[in-house]
Amino acid sequence: MNLASSFEQKFGHSPMVETRAPGRVNLLGEHVDYNQGIVLPAAIDRVVTLLASPTLDGIVTLHAIDLDEDVSIGLKEIDERCDIRGKPLPSWALYPAGVAWSLQRAGLPLGGMQAVYTSDVPIGAGLSSSAAVEVAFATTWQALSGWKMDKLPLAKLCQQAENEYVGVSSGLMDQFASACGVEGHVLCFDTRSLEWMPLELPAGTAIIIADSGIRRNLATSSYNDRRTACEQAVELLQKYLPEILSLRDVSSVEFAAYSMYLPPEIAKRAEHVVKEIHRVDQAIIALNRGDVRRFGGFMFASHKSLRNLFEVSLPQLDSLVEIARGLPGIYGARLTGAGFGGCTVNLVEEKDATTFMRGLQEGYRLKTGREIEVYLCKASAGAEARLVNEK
């Protein structure tokens, strides 16, 4: 059954709006978005697809097709995190409910809706499935309610929903990439100034994502612990570098001089961030020069740092990177997303993409006895809503 048929079967009429919001893959700049660094994500052609119609009763009725679950939420009671029967919202419903909460707090008029949605963005894989859901709902409410807002401010409201309603201290990168993606381009996003520009991916390259199959929940993982360690590093370094506001302000030379004053674990976390921010700066230069091999080298270096210093990798992710390193056509590989599971991203010569994907699957099977999903992805456009009857 297709999505439109599911909507009609559930609600007895046709939908008004169709929204698509992509997941994202981060090519470089991991765990620097909440340290005010520059990141290099790209929206991908794996998306949340949502069909919706407005209602006049202030009730949001959702059907999550992939879970085969339903919930109805009253917009007036959104603060209570309960459904219309007073039962606590299931975890999956916190994301659309959080968006409604954030939009209403911003003073935007919202009406009820009936919606069904599905996603081919793997959940918990580091491809920002939750951000794609948030941006899809925000974009849908914008289309149904008629108010205007640029994509970046809308992404910020989605981030607020995840931070303050869901309870995950994520940076802005995920929602930004889902909202603002540009086809064929990586997004150079300064998380401090919020300035950004698209950078064209080198011709003849392909993005290949390998899903380890290991899942983690950000709200219960060590993600928040890593963020706290970075904040503690800034607080301690300010005794010697009083002008710094975040780890972005600490140069490699300064860190070498003062890292001895940090507790060992905090020093390791901060070292990754300081060096990763420098890697991104150099990688942007390489990308502008079309030097894809040098860019790929920074990806490998990033993975090593995430493994050894930030300690968010796993043996399965390390194996995928090492197997990729020995395959034809590889430029660079690393874990992508918060870590603790999820995916690796590989930048590969396009003509070798099929051979590379098969080699990665076979190599992983030989090494671990496990099967993995591998996706050939394209950098895609950001979220968009359209009237269903539009041609």
Task: Report d(CA 58, CA 145) in Å as an integer.
Answer: 12
Catalytic annotation on 174?
yes
- Domains of the chain, first to last: 3-198+380-387 (3.30.230.10)
Confidence of residue 337 (pLDDT cuts 50, 70, 90): confident
At which residue do the structure tokens 């968010």 appear? 312
- Which of 51-65, 115-129, 168-182 shows the lowest per-residue confidence on average (mean pLDDT)? 115-129
Summarize the confidence of residues 287-298 as an average pLDDT: 96
> What pLDDT is attached to residue 219?
45
At which residue do the structure tokens 């009083």 appear? 242
Q: What is residue 270's three-state secondary structure?
A: helix
Task: Report d(CA 331, CA 315) in Å as an integer.
Answer: 21
CA angle 238, 239, 241 (to 5 degrees): 50
Summarize the confidence of residues 327-345 as an average pLDDT: 93
Tens of pLDDT, residues 64-79: 999 999 999 999 999 9
Confidence of residue 160 (pLDDT cuts 50, 70, 90): very high
> What pLDDT is attached to residue 340?
87
> What pLDDT is attached to residue 169?
76
Contacts of the segment 5-14: beta carbons below 8 A, 24+ positions apart: 6/51, 6/63, 6/65, 6/116, 7/51, 7/114, 7/116, 10/63, 10/114, 10/116, 11/53, 11/61, 11/114, 13/53, 14/53, 14/388
Q: Which of 105, 111, 51, 50 is nearest to 75 (CA)?
A: 111
Q: Does the pLDDT value for residue 286 go beyond 70?
A: yes
Chain mean pLDDT for the chain:
94
Contacts of the segment 298-301: beta carbons below 8 A, 24+ positions apart: 298/28, 298/332, 299/27, 299/28, 299/331, 299/332, 299/333, 299/334, 299/345, 299/347, 300/325, 300/332, 300/333, 300/334
> What pLDDT is attached to residue 217?
59
From 174, 291, 318, 352, the catalytic residue: 174
Summarize the confidence of residues 134-138 as an average pLDDT: 98
Q: Does the pLDDT value for residue 267 go beyond 50?
A: yes
Instruction: Work out whether the CA dihedral 298, 303, 305, 310 comes out positive or negative.
Output: positive
Q: Which of 90, 133, 89 is nearest to 115 (CA)?
A: 133
Tens of pLDDT, residues 183-202: 999 999 999 999 999 999 98
Residue 370 neighbours by CB under 8 Å, 6+ apart: 213, 316, 364
Tens of pLDDT, residues 18-62: 999 999 999 999 999 889 999 999 999 999 999 999 999 999 999
**Percentage with pLDDT > 70 across the chain:** 98
Tens of pLDDT, residues 91-122: 999 999 999 999 999 999 999 999 999 999 88
Check if the beta carbon of residue 187 is closer than 8 Å to that of residue 198: yes
Confidence of residue 126 (pLDDT cuts 50, 70, 90): confident
